[in-house]
Amino acid sequence: MGVLDSIAVGRSALSAASAGINVTSQNVANAATPGYSRRRVLLQTSDPLRRGGLWVGTGSRVAGINRASDRLLGVRVVAAAGAEAQASTVESTLSVAQGYFDETSGTGLSEAYATFYSSMSSLTADPADAGARRAVVEAARGLAGTVSRTARGVGDSIDSVNGSLSDRVDAVNTGLREVASLNAQIGRQGASTGPGDLLDRRDQVIRELGETAGATVDLDANGQATVFLGGFAVVSGKEARTVSVADDSAGIAQIYVSCDSGKMRVTDRLGGELGGLMSARTTMEGWLGQLDDFATTLATTVNAQHALGFDSNGAPGGDVFSLDPTAPAASLDVDEALAADPSLLAAAGAATADPGDGDNLALLMAQRTATSFAGSTGANALSSLTSSVGTEIAAASSDWTSLNAQLNDLQSQRDAVSKVDTDEEAIRLIEFQTAYRAASRVISAGDQMLQSLLAIG
């Protein structure tokens, strides 16, 4: 082995140490970067040469840069992130709507319903009392206002969900196109030894797609990612499908995935934030449907009984409540004529001038205990609704807590595999610095030997 060989070996050591310092610097620079996977320089002994019957070493070489990752764990983290985001979105969306059913302030549905019938009970003491009649009308107005305010609030929450779909769908399409583009750049160079920065960026985008739409992924050993949405492959290689939002025949916003010249509805198959919004919307539509049923039954039964009585002028009773059949709860109100003139309240059971006749008033009050609301009383129907609201939100909160814990556990496992440990990197930096200095001395020694030989020559 000659002097030049020694210098060449030293040069290979210098190159290996320099690569190690570069990789370590990249790790330290990205220690806090979300989704970054630490790198390790892969060093190998160079092939030896046979000289004078001896095998002589030729130093080391950089075989590649390894990206610390676990494909199966990455797939599980994406799925868990989607499930957690869905549960979180359901819980937060329903919690906003829950405020419309608040019974603790004394202005809730049940309180307004009880006040309406209590006002009629007070009127029985003197059916001719104009002040008591006015109190009944105001209580009816209060009940109608509470029902309509609650219905409009829930309706606004549903509209808010529908209005936020387009922005999220746009984000999904942007993410799908980016994944396809990154797949093309990455090629089939491997999930561990391919371009680490591009692999990290792609995996982070896929996780965001999981959080936004419940996307799942298949990561192959060659470094390619296939993304699925609602069971359909939306990214395969460098090709990406398009996601869109459009109203169906009933005017309800739905989510679709392009398929050849058509599109497939995936609304009920989504997860993540979009799936959470769809689930919350369905739940709130159920609440609004119960309110509509309550308002329709209330107006129908009260108006029917009121029409059988007679007002202070001996005329048959008119309507107490008015509503629009297309939106019963949101439009519920007191009849304009009755609101303007409480003497039109039909408390009497006969067309008589007897101011103390409250026979029809008693029949109106009896409806409080009648099971006209789908086999239940009005009070029980409202209690069931508010109880259902609380139960469903509690269930959503419990789901979110559980799924959040699962995601955190998987994230901890992912961090153990891929996260940068700055203390460890500091040690490696010292090792590579020491190796670099030693390699420099080898080269320096070889250079001095060569200069000595040249001087002798």
Q: What's the pLDDT tens digit per position in 111-147?
A: 999 999 999 999 999 998 999 999 999 999 999 999 9
Task: State the residue for tokens 């409202």.
Answer: 382
Output the pLDDT for position 435. 86
pLDDT in tens, 264-299: 999 889 999 999 999 999 999 999 999 999 999 999
d(CA 171, CA 177): 10
The answer, yes or no, to whether residue 105 has pLDDT greater than 80, is: no
d(CA 191, CA 223): 4
Output the pLDDT for position 310. 93
d(CA 217, CA 202): 11
Q: Residue 340: which residues within 8 A CB-CB, separation 6 or more?
A: none
Percent of the chain with pLDDT over 70: 98
- Whether residue 191 contacts residue 71, with contact meaning beta carbons closer than 8 Å, is answered with yes
Q: Which helix (H) or strand (E) holds 162?
A: helix 130-186
pTM of the model: 0.84
For the chain, how are helix, strand and coil distributed in percent, rounded to 5? 65, 15, 25
Q: Taking residues 89-102, report their average pLDDT.
A: 89
Instruction: Looking at 308-377, list the stretches that DSSP marks H as alpha helix, in order from N- to C-terminal side.
Output: 328-331, 336-340, 359-366
The answer, yes or no, to whether residue 1 has pLDDT greater than 60, is: no
Q: Taking residues 186-203, report their average pLDDT.
A: 84
- Whether residue 111 contacts residue 321, with contact meaning beta carbons closer than 8 Å, is answered with no
Q: Taking residues 167-196, report their average pLDDT.
A: 88
- Whether residue 241 contacts residue 176, with contact meaning beta carbons closer than 8 Å, is answered with yes
pLDDT, averaged across the chain: 90
Output the pLDDT for position 26. 92
56: left (phi over 0), alpha (psi -120 to 50) or beta: beta
Output the pLDDT for position 82. 95
| pLDDT band at residue 106 under the 50/70/90 scheme | low
CA atoms within 13 A on the CB side of 96: 17
Q: One-letter amino acid identity for 116? A: F
Q: Cβ of 163: how many Cβ atoms within 10 Å?
A: 10
Q: One-letter amino acid identity for 350? A: A
The answer, yes or no, to whether residue 108 has pLDDT greater than 90, is: no
- Helices 71-98 & 130-186 angle (0-180, nearest 10): 160
Q: Cβ of 100: how many Cβ atoms within 10 Å?
A: 22
Return the beta strands (E) in 297-455 as ranges.
321-322, 333-334
